[in-house]
Structure 1
Amino acid sequence: MKAVAIRKFGRPEGLAVIDLPAPAPGAGQVLIAVEAIGVGGVDAVIRSGTLAAYGFEEGHIPGGEVAGTVTAVGDGVDASWIGRRVWAFTGVGGGYAERAIAPVEEVLPLPADLSAADAVTLGSSGVVAHFGLAHARFAPGESVLVRGAAGSIGIMTVQLAARGGAGAVAVTTSSAERGERLRALGATHVLDRAGEGGEDAPAGYDVVIDVVAGPDLPSFFARLNPNGRMVVVGVVGGRPPADFGTAMMSAFRKSMSFATFSADTVAGRDRRAVRIEQFAAASRGELHTVVHEVLPLEQAVLAHRKMDAGEVFGRIVLTP
């Protein structure tokens, strides 16, 4: 089978198409003939080599989110999965391939009218957005700022905050055109990347959901109201400065809170329940997925170039 591996950490050109034997499912696993692969920000972070200290090595096959048809099952897995269209989380990688392995507990059947591309645009980002807001203790009527709202996680956070009764949903983004698209999805105020601008935008926010992190993270503590909560759900902008907590301490009397959030800390049954509900909502047209572009697997380098250049609104999807 064809797959894409990280030949060399660093720039997108370090990705390469390779040939591998098709994998076989082990106990508790299924084999999926892949129709769509979600290209996520974490893939770019892994490709850059930033996470090499966490065990990622050159030769790694990126991709944690696929959709397709189950073609085989391992020991202990009900054979009725064979032939079913599914969404699957493959773990830390292995998704950039024509065939992928996933643990059966991370596999969900797809509604008949939900495309594979829409499934891999929603499956992980929707869960992060849902539980990220919960981690921030978001309540109806509160104001929310979504930093880095043009990616799939940000887009889902905007929609869920609006559906959840937010008093205001502000977004940071890079252009007026993107701002208008985010307004159509539920944003009430559009700010620039620094969090400035926006006609009649709130002076402060009860919740900040940050997909970016990076060197400018500390400046957003100033956007929090007293008792405000910031939750970082992504690091597409890199790590914050080592002394970022100094900005919080300088506003000690505001009783602000800071947290990170990873869906890995959510029980599998809870992630599964939310995904089932969100897939159903998307199939009814109540949640909107945004597929930026569909590219063939062989163009993974181009997909990563577009991500690195900040050209993507929503998610790029690869197809074998």
Structure 2
Amino acid sequence: MSTTVGFGGSRSARQTNEESPVRAITIEKFGPAEGLALSERPEPAVVAGSVLIEVEAIGVGGVDAVIRRGTLGSSFPVGMVPGSEVAGRVTQAGEGVAGSWVGKRVWAFTGTSGAYAERAVAHLDDVTELPDALRSSDAVALGGAGPVAHFALEHARFEAGQSVLVRGAAGSLGIMALQLAAAAGASAIGVTTSSPERGRRLRDLGATRILDRTAQPAEGDDAPGAFDVVIDIVGGPELPSFVELLAPNGRFVSIGVVGGYPPADFGMTLMRLFQRSLSFATFSLDTVPMAERNAARADIFARAARGELRAVVDGILPLADAAEAHRRMDAGTVFGRIVLTP
């Protein structure tokens, strides 16, 4: 995705309109959620190739929590506005952007900062127009996660009639991978989850097998069997146990490490299972051309507007309650996506 153009971006992007302050959340101290604070900031300036958006909904993502904790080191400054995903209405177009964008409802990626605010700036390459029937809160549950899930399944060479396991299925990314696999004709879809209630909700979305976090069948469920594809959002020390669940010629695609990095010797599991001809890959949306990402996102929005895909919103909180949203994420109680509204 393109370089950040909102709060905390390059020098030119940090030029602001001092006469139009906006309410925003800033990270005043890295670590616990209490380090997030509501403040007033100058409105971000619109630069060439970008648009200003009156924000209606903000997606609270896992990467926001990682940045807030300070896990990624000193590359992020104290006082930054976190967040990367908004939906709202374009109110101003920068140089080189057609004036017809003004007034349109859009989803936008703001970079690695700038979204937790009443107004945000995004480069036009990172903006997708929304169908009239799609709510802004639903857009931020779909817009970031949907293309990653779509292209991860493509990267895994998934085909109709094959089985899929989604590890870490209760977040917005896992929920999208589950739904897209089901819609594409998966023969069976396994998921991992932490409670029977979550398992029931995932079955309602298309899951057919429920596993716990150690790759064992959940209470009352059948043995997991083998899967043609594993889409893994978690990583962590249990990753080798899920490699074991691959069928012959199975493909394992890692798209996140929210549970930490896997053991350094996890590749030995692949070697021990050499005769199964297994494959392990990583996937990042950064490797997909921008035009293809945006086309996939627009298709997902259209399908959701028609009722073919479901946006799962765990809760909608006011912007001032961003710290509470992060506390829920840290506690692992979120199913789907939490949304903030200015």
TM above 0.5, one fold?
yes
Say yes or no: does 1:42 pair with 2:55: no
User: 1 CA distance for matches of 2:234 and 2:195?
Assistant: 16
Partner of 2:128: 108
User: 2 CA distance for matches of 1:160 and 1:314?
Assistant: 15
Structure 1 residues 279-317: Cα deviation after superposition (integer angstroms, max 9, x where no partner): 111011000011000001111111011011111001000
Structure 1 residues 180-210: Cα deviation after superposition (integer angstroms, max 9, x where no partner): 1111111111111112115334421111111
Out of 272, 290, 303, the residue aligned to residue 312 of structure 2 is 290
Say yes or no: does 1:10 pair with 2:60: no
User: 2 CA distance for matches of 1:184 and 1:2?
Assistant: 38
What SS does the corresponding residue of 1:275 show, helix, strand or coil?
helix
Matches within 5 A, 1:211-226: 211-226=233-248
What SS does the corresponding residue of 2:137 show, helix, strand or coil?
helix
Matches within 5 A, 1:104-183: 104-183=124-203
Decide which moves more: 255-264 or 34-43: 255-264
Report the count of equivalent residues. Answer: 319
User: 2 CA distance for matches of 1:215 and 1:288?
Assistant: 31
Decide which moves more: 195-204 or 253-262: 195-204
Partner of 1:194: 214
Partner of 1:317: 339
Supply the AA of the counterpart residue of 1:57.
Answer: P
How many percent identity over aligned positions? 62
What SS does the corresponding residue of 1:316 show, helix, strand or coil?
strand
User: 1 CA distance for matches of 2:27 and 2:251?
Assistant: 37
Decide which moves more: 8-17 or 34-43: 8-17
CA contact (8 A) 2:216 2:224 kept: no
Partner of 2:91: 71
User: 2 CA distance for matches of 1:133 and 1:184?
Assistant: 21
What SS does the corresponding residue of 1:22 show, helix, strand or coil?
strand
What SS does the corresponding residue of 1:63 show, helix, strand or coil?
coil
Structure 1 residues 203-255: Cα deviation after superposition (integer angstroms, max 9, x where no partner): 21111111111222122111111221111112221222333223222222222
User: 2 CA distance for matches of 1:22 and 1:194?
Assistant: 47
Decide which moves more: 58-67 or 153-162: 58-67
What SS does the corresponding residue of 1:292 show, helix, strand or coil?
strand
Partner of 2:5: none
Structure 1 residues 49-89: Cα deviation after superposition (integer angstroms, max 9, x where no partner): 22226x33333322111001111111000111111111111
Say yes or no: does 1:308 pair with 2:330: yes
CA contact (8 A) 1:88 1:107 kept: yes
What SS does the corresponding residue of 1:170 show, helix, strand or coil?
strand
Say yes or no: does 1:92 pair with 2:112: yes
Decide which moves more: 119-128 or 12-21: 12-21
TM-score by structure 1 length?
Answer: 0.96
User: 2 CA distance for matches of 1:80 and 1:94?
Assistant: 24
Out of 46, 52, 55, the residue aligned to residue 25 of structure 1 is 46
What SS does the corresponding residue of 1:31 show, helix, strand or coil?
strand
Supply the AA of the counterpart residue of 1:146.
Answer: V
Where in structure 1 do 4 or more consecutive aligned residues deviate above 6 Å?
Answer: none
Partner of 1:51: 72
Root-mean-square deviation over aligned CA pairs: 1.3
Contiguous gaps of at least 5 residues in structure 1: none
User: 1 CA distance for matches of 2:236 and 2:39?
Assistant: 33
CA contact (8 A) 2:216 2:223 kept: no
After superposition, the Cα gap between the structure-2 partners of 1:58 and 1:150, relative to the gap in structure 1 and judged at 3 Å, is: same
What SS does the corresponding residue of 1:21 show, helix, strand or coil?
strand
Supply the AA of the counterpart residue of 2:56.
Answer: E
Deviation at 1:38, TM superposition (A): 0.3
Partner of 2:80: 60
User: 1 CA distance for matches of 2:40 and 2:339?
Assistant: 21
CA contact (8 A) 1:170 1:201 kept: no
User: 2 CA distance for matches of 1:56 and 1:243?
Assistant: 31
After superposition, the Cα gap between the structure-2 partners of 1:246 and 1:5, relative to the gap in structure 1 and judged at 3 Å, is: farther
User: 1 CA distance for matches of 2:288 and 2:76?
Assistant: 23
Deviation at 1:159, TM superposition (A): 0.6
